[in-house]
Amino acid sequence: MTSGATTPRTTSGSGLPAEAGFVVAALAVLVVAAAASLFVGVSAVSPRGLIEGDDHQWRVFWESRIPRLAAILLAGSAMSVAGLIMQSLVRNRFVAPSTAGTVEAASLGLLIATVWFGSTSVIGKMVIAVAFALLGTAFFLSLVQRLRFADIVLVPLAGIVFGGVIQAATTFFAFQWDLLQSLNAWTQGDFSGTLRGRYELLYVVGALMLVGYLYADRFTLVGMGREFAMNLGVRYERVLYGGLALAATITAVVVVVVGAIPFIGLIVPNLVTMALGDHLRRVLPATAIGGALFVLLCDILSRTIRYPYEVPVGTVVSVLGGVIFVVLILRSRVGAR
Amino acid sequence: MIEVSGVTKRYGDATVLDNVSLTLHRGGVTALVGANGAGKSTLLSIIGRLLTPEAGRVSVDGLDVATTPSTELARRLSILRQENTVAVRLTVRELVEFGRFPHSGGRLTANDRDHVERAIDYLQLRPFEHRPVDQLSGGQRQRVFIAMVLCQDTDYVLLDEPLNNLDMRHAVQTMHLVRRLATDLGKTLVVVLHDINFAAHHADRIVAMKDGRILADGTPSEIVTPAQIQAIFDLEVDVHHLDAGPFAAYFARRD
């Protein structure tokens, strides 16, 4: 694992730690953007209309805008937290749900569940997608542990290849079963279909994030290495596998409900830890808020860029995220030499 | 008291530890010496429950390290391994604070904070307590890890080659520190050392290992003799008697 470029920490000797300032600032921007997002869309909803008690506007507000905002905040923060936990546990900054085969495995599970159960049972789909995500992540981990790559960039590369193989199989079956269109929806994260009654499962990932926060110190210690963690009484294997299972479960639930949001689990944790360090308990709230903010801004962009049409948020995230990812890789390579 | 009884460890066909028994009483500095591959680090890791032996048992104050909950053990015994390369971006203070993890699980109490402050002062880390550990020199980093172990506040401290990669000055300072931990704070230290002279001048007791067995066990003046060193290291050396203790001139030219 490289330490990226040398990072000056801004923690001052006294007063509030740097992460507190970061959280407050990001939270302020998030609140403003969230409020604004409630009034962006094809159907006209305005604060004035709501005050005047316009029935139609209120219905759109409750049935679509609020659920959409909640889904964005939950999915964005949870995917970032999942990425943060994974990169710490695997001790590689480029490992995230989208570079470890986790997302692709979840999509394959979702496809198989759809064939078996039809499209009605959301719980059934979630359980199978989670199971596949766990299996995929476990396979990736054993791959990494067995091959012991000399270059850290090879680890996510192997994960991407592994994910590609799963994705190819998924596409093949989707073609056979005439489900290519559904598959497309799962692999391109999209909030335009988020309505009341169809996103509430995402509160599960909110709860999982809290679990992640409770175990954050143990994740940090496991990231310091097996012997280091064991010296401090941490049950290394249990925390390692448990943490990865947590990240895989978050990923699968997000894929089932809104579809995959690429790069988010990779970029947000990297940007946040670059600024604030790797003490997970301290950076996890900032990562969650940063992820929510990033996805929210991308979603607002996806709603306005071709107004009145929508670009899938996954596309916007990919374009922005891809650029940031390349910059991160270049920076880390320069820093490592 | 640490009691090692009948410990055997194998890697495939190679027997790294062969039925080793050893009793270490409370207090003082014990040096584990021996050639590369003699089994010193393996023995230390087994005592510190980082490795599981094929046979035998280890107990610390009567607690079997294989069955005692890891957190409970972490309040009695700490072990620092040799490669402490830090890829994780933590500040000096954050790392030292983690020493309190076995006691408070990450939520520091006032008592925990006292320990942290004292450790930082004791190791003179105050000037760079907010610097990232990965930007420190090897000597500074070693002090940070020792501060963390100090914070862990265990009766037993196991150090695996703490002098690795340290220059003369930092090596001597580290050994002084090890000595002070035993003398001032009453801790029991077990230290794997490569340099027999550091062992001779800073340890109360030397345990010498060879081929997975304990070959000799005694005070520095008993162990640091030409005959014993010949037996332990297969090396012919002259031993000089200085005021501070025996000195093995192993690096001398022998034409």
The pLDDT, as a whole number, for residue A315 is: 86
Q: Which of A13, A234, A278 minimises the CB distance to B88?
A: A278
The pLDDT, as a whole number, for residue A12 is: 41
The answer to whether the CB atoms of B87 and A11 lie below 8 A apart is no
* Best residue in A3, A95, A231, A238 for a mutation probing chain B (most B CBs within 10 Å): A231
Q: Please state, in angstroms and rounded to a whole number, the distance separating the CA atoms of residues A85 and A100.
A: 13
Per-residue model confidence as pLDDT tens digits over B80-115: 987 666 778 999 999 999 999 999 988 899 999 999
The pLDDT > 90 percentage for chain A reads 55
pLDDT over 50 at A73, yes or no: yes
pLDDT over 50 at A5, yes or no: no
CATH superfamily, domain at A18-336: ABC transporter involved in vitamin B12 uptake, BtuC (1.10.3470.10)
- Angstroms from A298 CA to nearest CA on chain B: 29
Contact between A317 and A264 (Cβ < 8 Å): yes
The pLDDT, as a whole number, for residue B88 is: 86
Per-residue model confidence as pLDDT tens digits over A213-249: 999 999 999 999 999 999 999 999 999 999 999 999 9
The answer to whether the CB atoms of B89 and A228 lie below 8 A apart is no
Sign of CA dihedral A214, A220, A221, A222: positive
Quick one: pLDDT band at residue A16, thresholds 50, 70, 90?
low
Q: Please state, in angstroms and rounded to a whole number, the distance separating the CA atoms of residues A18 and B91.
A: 12
pLDDT over 90 at B46, yes or no: yes
pLDDT over 80 at A333, yes or no: no
ipTM of the complex: 0.91
* Residue length of chain B: 255
Inter-CA distances, B234 with A142, A314, B74, B129, Å: 42, 67, 37, 45
CATH superfamily, domain at B1-76+156-255: P-loop containing nucleotide triphosphate hydrolases (3.40.50.300)
Measured between CB atoms, does B52 come within 8 Å of chain A?
Answer: no
Which range, of A113-122, A140-149, A304-313, B57-66, averages the lowest pLDDT?
A113-122
The pLDDT, as a whole number, for residue A263 is: 86
Q: How many beta-carbon pairs under 8 angstroms link A with B?
A: 82
Buried/exposed A214-237: b ≥16 CB within 10 Å, e otherwise: ebbbbbbbbbbbebbbbbbbbebe
The pLDDT, as a whole number, for residue B84 is: 62
Per-residue model confidence as pLDDT tens digits over A88-101: 999 888 899 999 99
Per-residue model confidence as pLDDT tens digits over B16-27: 999 999 999 999
Q: Which of A3, A12, A235 minimises the CB distance to B89?
A: A3
Measured between CB atoms, does A223 come within 8 Å of chain B?
Answer: yes
Joined tokens for residue B28: 């003082």
The answer to whether the CB atoms of B101 and A227 lie below 8 A apart is no
Q: Please state, in angstroms and rounded to a whole number, the distance separating the CA atoms of residues B58 and B41.
A: 15
User: Residues 88 to 117 of A: which have CB under 8 A from any B CB?
Assistant: 88, 91
> What is the residue-averaged pLDDT of chain A?
88
* Best residue in A16, A232, A234, A276 for a mutation probing chain B (most B CBs within 10 Å): A232
- Angstroms from B35 CA to nearest CA on chain A: 23
The answer to whether the CB atoms of B90 and A230 lie below 8 A apart is no
Per-residue model confidence as pLDDT tens digits over B171-206: 998 999 999 999 999 999 999 999 999 999 999 999
pLDDT over 90 at A3, yes or no: no
- For residues B49-78, give the mean pLDDT: 95
Measured between CB atoms, does A332 come within 8 Å of chain B?
Answer: no
* Best residue in B89, B100, B103 for a mutation probing chain A (most A CBs within 10 Å): B89
Per-residue model confidence as pLDDT tens digits over A242-270: 999 999 999 999 999 998 888 899 999 99
Show the DSSP H helices in A12-153 as ranges: 18-37, 47-51, 55-60, 66-89, 102-117, 122-147
Joined tokens for residue A324: 């940031």
CB contacts, 8 Å: B134 with chain A = 3
Q: Where are the domains of chain B?
A: 1-76+156-255, 84-153
The answer to whether the CB atoms of B90 and A232 lie below 8 A apart is no
